Amino acid sequence: MERMTKTAASTLRDAAGIPAMICEKRTTAAIYRKLLGELPDSCGEKLKHMFWENIAHANCLNGIYCLITGVCPGIQPISSRQASAAELLQQCCASELQALAACEARYADSRFGPVYRELAAESRAHCRVVLELLGSLAD
Protein backbone atom coordinates (compact mmCIF):
# COMPACT_ATOMS: atom_id res chain seq x y z
CA MET A 1 0.00 0.00 0.00
CA GLU A 2 2.86 2.38 0.82
CA ARG A 3 4.35 1.75 -2.64
CA MET A 4 1.04 2.67 -4.26
CA THR A 5 0.85 5.91 -2.26
CA LYS A 6 4.38 6.88 -3.33
CA THR A 7 3.49 6.19 -6.97
CA ALA A 8 0.31 8.28 -6.72
CA ALA A 9 2.24 11.13 -5.11
CA SER A 10 4.90 10.90 -7.81
CA THR A 11 2.22 10.99 -10.52
CA LEU A 12 0.60 14.09 -9.04
CA ARG A 13 4.00 15.78 -8.72
CA ASP A 14 4.87 14.96 -12.36
CA ALA A 15 1.53 16.35 -13.58
CA ALA A 16 1.53 19.48 -11.41
CA GLY A 17 1.56 22.65 -13.45
CA ILE A 18 0.94 21.00 -16.81
CA PRO A 19 -2.69 22.23 -17.09
CA ALA A 20 -1.46 25.80 -16.54
CA MET A 21 1.18 25.29 -19.24
CA ILE A 22 -1.51 23.99 -21.63
CA CYS A 23 -3.73 26.98 -20.93
CA GLU A 24 -0.83 29.38 -21.44
CA LYS A 25 0.10 27.80 -24.77
CA ARG A 26 -3.50 27.94 -26.02
CA THR A 27 -3.87 31.54 -24.88
CA THR A 28 -0.63 32.54 -26.62
CA ALA A 29 -1.78 30.78 -29.80
CA ALA A 30 -5.05 32.72 -29.68
CA ILE A 31 -3.15 36.00 -29.38
CA TYR A 32 -0.94 35.12 -32.37
CA ARG A 33 -4.09 34.38 -34.38
CA LYS A 34 -5.64 37.67 -33.30
CA LEU A 35 -2.50 39.58 -34.30
CA LEU A 36 -2.69 38.18 -37.84
CA GLY A 37 -5.34 40.80 -38.62
CA GLU A 38 -3.59 43.63 -36.80
CA LEU A 39 0.02 43.43 -37.97
CA PRO A 40 1.40 44.00 -41.47
CA ASP A 41 1.17 41.10 -43.93
CA SER A 42 4.95 40.69 -43.75
CA CYS A 43 4.48 39.36 -40.19
CA GLY A 44 1.79 36.88 -41.21
CA GLU A 45 3.88 33.79 -41.91
CA LYS A 46 5.79 34.09 -38.65
CA LEU A 47 2.58 34.55 -36.67
CA LYS A 48 0.90 31.59 -38.40
CA HIS A 49 3.93 29.41 -37.72
CA MET A 50 4.01 30.35 -34.03
CA PHE A 51 0.22 29.93 -33.79
CA TRP A 52 0.38 26.36 -35.09
CA GLU A 53 3.45 25.48 -33.01
CA ASN A 54 1.73 26.70 -29.83
CA ILE A 55 -1.33 24.60 -30.68
CA ALA A 56 1.00 21.62 -31.21
CA HIS A 57 2.77 22.34 -27.90
CA ALA A 58 -0.56 22.49 -26.07
CA ASN A 59 -1.61 19.19 -27.66
CA CYS A 60 1.73 17.60 -26.75
CA LEU A 61 1.45 18.76 -23.14
CA ASN A 62 -2.15 17.55 -23.09
CA GLY A 63 -0.92 14.11 -24.22
CA ILE A 64 1.78 14.05 -21.54
CA TYR A 65 -0.80 14.96 -18.90
CA CYS A 66 -3.12 12.19 -20.14
CA LEU A 67 -0.30 9.65 -20.07
CA ILE A 68 0.72 10.64 -16.55
CA THR A 69 -2.74 10.89 -14.98
CA GLY A 70 -5.04 8.87 -17.22
CA VAL A 71 -7.30 11.93 -17.51
CA CYS A 72 -7.43 14.38 -20.40
CA PRO A 73 -8.05 17.94 -19.25
CA GLY A 74 -10.49 20.13 -21.17
CA ILE A 75 -8.57 23.39 -21.06
CA GLN A 76 -9.56 26.47 -23.04
CA PRO A 77 -7.51 29.62 -23.67
CA ILE A 78 -8.05 32.68 -21.54
CA SER A 79 -9.57 35.57 -23.47
CA SER A 80 -7.01 38.25 -24.11
CA ARG A 81 -7.77 41.77 -23.01
CA GLN A 82 -8.06 44.65 -25.42
CA ALA A 83 -4.55 45.90 -25.99
CA SER A 84 -2.30 47.25 -28.68
CA ALA A 85 -0.38 44.88 -30.92
CA ALA A 86 2.84 45.81 -29.10
CA GLU A 87 1.28 45.01 -25.71
CA LEU A 88 -0.03 41.69 -27.00
CA LEU A 89 3.40 40.80 -28.40
CA GLN A 90 4.98 41.68 -25.04
CA GLN A 91 2.43 39.39 -23.36
CA CYS A 92 3.36 36.62 -25.81
CA CYS A 93 7.06 37.11 -25.13
CA ALA A 94 6.45 36.85 -21.37
CA SER A 95 4.34 33.75 -21.93
CA GLU A 96 7.01 32.12 -24.10
CA LEU A 97 9.66 32.88 -21.44
CA GLN A 98 7.40 31.36 -18.78
CA ALA A 99 6.94 28.25 -20.94
CA LEU A 100 10.68 28.08 -21.48
CA ALA A 101 11.35 28.15 -17.73
CA ALA A 102 8.62 25.58 -17.01
CA CYS A 103 10.01 23.19 -19.63
CA GLU A 104 13.61 23.67 -18.48
CA ALA A 105 12.51 22.81 -14.93
CA ARG A 106 11.28 19.44 -16.27
CA TYR A 107 14.42 18.42 -18.20
CA ALA A 108 15.20 15.71 -15.63
CA ASP A 109 11.86 13.94 -16.18
CA SER A 110 12.88 10.38 -17.01
CA ARG A 111 10.04 9.77 -19.46
CA PHE A 112 9.40 13.13 -21.08
CA GLY A 113 12.65 15.10 -20.62
CA PRO A 114 13.49 15.07 -24.36
CA VAL A 115 10.02 16.40 -25.19
CA TYR A 116 10.42 19.22 -22.67
CA ARG A 117 13.83 20.06 -24.18
CA GLU A 118 12.27 20.38 -27.64
CA LEU A 119 9.39 22.50 -26.34
CA ALA A 120 11.88 24.76 -24.54
CA ALA A 121 13.95 25.19 -27.70
CA GLU A 122 10.87 26.16 -29.68
CA SER A 123 9.72 28.61 -26.99
CA ARG A 124 13.20 30.17 -27.05
CA ALA A 125 12.92 30.55 -30.84
CA HIS A 126 9.45 32.09 -30.47
CA CYS A 127 10.88 34.67 -28.06
CA ARG A 128 13.43 35.71 -30.68
CA VAL A 129 10.75 36.06 -33.36
CA VAL A 130 8.42 38.02 -31.07
CA LEU A 131 11.26 40.40 -30.20
CA GLU A 132 11.95 40.80 -33.92
CA LEU A 133 8.26 41.58 -34.54
CA LEU A 134 8.29 44.11 -31.70
CA GLY A 135 11.32 45.74 -33.28
CA SER A 136 9.55 45.97 -36.64
CA LEU A 137 6.63 47.75 -34.96
CA ALA A 138 9.00 50.34 -33.53
CA ASP A 139 10.42 51.17 -36.98
pLDDT tens track for 20-39: 999 999 999 999 999 998 88
- Cβ-Cβ contacts under 8 Å for 126 (sequence gap 6 or more): 50, 53, 54, 92, 96
What CATH number should be reported for the domain holding residue 9?
A: 1.20.1260.10
Element (H, E) at 32: helix 18-35
pTM, two decimal places: 0.82
Asked whether the predicted pLDDT for residue 57 surpasses 50, the reply is yes
Q: How many domains does the chain have?
A: 1
DSSP state of 78: P
For residue 129, what are the domain limits?
2-138
The confidence score (pLDDT) of residue 11 equals 61
